[in-house]
Amino acid sequence: MVATAQTIIISGYYGFRNSGDEAVLKSILTALEEESHRAGITVKPVVLSSDPAWTEKMYGVAAVPRMSLGEVRKAIKNSDGLISGGGSLLQDATSPKSIPYYLAILKLAQWAGKPTFVYAQGIGPVQRKIFYPMIRSVFQRCEYVSVRDKQSAALLDNMKLRHPSVEVVPDPVMGLPLPSESGQAHKAFAELDQDELPIVGVSVRYWDKEHRDLTSIADGLKKLAAERRVHLRFLPFHLPDDEQASKMVMDLLGDIKGTGSRVSMCNQVTDPQQMLLEVSRCSLMIGMRLHSLIYAASHQVPPLGISYDPKIDHFLSRVGSQPVGTAEALNGRKLADEAIRLLNDRDQWIESQGAAIALLKSEARLPAQHIINYLCRKG
């Protein structure tokens, strides 16, 4: 048994108040705490964050500035290991700087002689093949590598990574529990319970520069609200951009009061478990954000995904679904029809996918179990 506390650095896209990435962090912290308690050891996480003070206040753990080389090196030197993940860290679609940054953090730990672990990452897209040998070299020296879908594993194989084992596991957020403050939850949702309309969660983001995707979503939601009385509840996952995208769709919807349906938006939620609670109250989740769909499936809310990235398709396939359309090609009529079908057949969907979801929730803890077992053996 390990006699002293083990300090673990956690590297990822944290401190930016993106609900999906914060949910990943919360899920990792929760899994590590529960698995370490089960093993009888103490783990002290230190998060590399864009806003260390906010991260410390939100999660009650230590944090250091992710871009301060001196503080990062000091934290690594005083640690017992480093976790990279989860999320889509190693991709060059949004920026060519992401892959070098996250690999450099792993390399710093390896140079310092610390064990490194890749935690349920989504790998790719990697359009610049110059990154292939860099990823292969760093991952080859990791004690444990796990990815969140088989496509990521196939990409690593294509890079000729010859790690002893690359484990395919669910996204960590599949294991995120609801918050325990039931009284607070009751107060927060008292208004939602008054009208008894089925709540349809809506998660949108900016993607198409001409906003054709948001226009098609608004068209589908307008048809849905006219044909089935619902409460359209907009859930912004990335502030402030998703709030602005939500307001655009709400403006395109116009006044739907005459249909008997209603519209609202959840404002300024940065706590991932509170957003999870919002999603859990829905009868259906229409989402562009990956983690809106993961939140939904993990709490048996049928997800209706709109794909802008292969990671959406990969996740939906694991819960027996496929996108209703893409950001480039979405038909409002089809969106409304699929939403109505899932609302009518919700119980059937839950029954058909219940076992698969339970397995995903259980497997989401595998990376934490491997890391804690390694620390126990090391001790």
User: How confident is the model over 189-193, as a mean pLDDT?
Assistant: 54
255-260 long-range contacts, CB within 8 A, separation 24+:
256/222, 256/225, 256/226, 259/225, 259/226, 259/229, 260/229
**pLDDT at residue 362 above 60?**
yes
Residue 19: pLDDT band by 50, 70, 90 thresholds?
Answer: confident
Check residue 186 and give its pLDDT: 47
**pLDDT at residue 379 above 90?**
no
Residue 257: pLDDT band by 50, 70, 90 thresholds?
Answer: confident
User: How confident is the model over 112-118, as a mean pLDDT?
Assistant: 98
Q: What would the pLDDT profile of 305-340 be if each residue is shown by its tens digit? A: 999 999 999 999 999 999 999 999 999 999 999 999
Rounded-to-integer distance, Cα 27 and Cα 173, Å: 6
Q: What would the pLDDT profile of 76-110 be if each residue is shown by its tens digit? A: 999 999 999 989 999 998 899 999 999 999 999 99
The structural domains of the chain, ordered by start, are 6-169+364-378 (3.40.50.2000), 182-360 (3.40.50.2000)
Check residue 183 and give its pLDDT: 47
Q: What would the pLDDT profile of 126-139 be if each residue is shown by its tens digit? A: 999 999 999 999 99
Check residue 196 and give its pLDDT: 85
User: How confident is the model over 170-175, as a mean pLDDT?
Assistant: 95
**pLDDT at residue 349 above 60?**
yes
Check residue 324 and give its pLDDT: 98
Check residue 163 and give its pLDDT: 84
Residue 182: pLDDT band by 50, 70, 90 thresholds?
Answer: very low
Q: Would you state the structure tokens that stand for residue 330, as one six-digit string?
A: 């979405």
Check residue 270 and give its pLDDT: 86
Q: What would the pLDDT profile of 58-81 be if each residue is shown by its tens digit? A: 999 999 999 999 999 999 999 999
Check residue 194 and give its pLDDT: 58
Check residue 191 and give its pLDDT: 55
Rounded-to-integer distance, Cα 226 and Cα 348, Å: 24
Check residue 146 and give its pLDDT: 97
Check residue 2 and give its pLDDT: 53
User: How confident is the model over 239-267, as a mean pLDDT?
Assistant: 95
Check residue 164 and give its pLDDT: 80
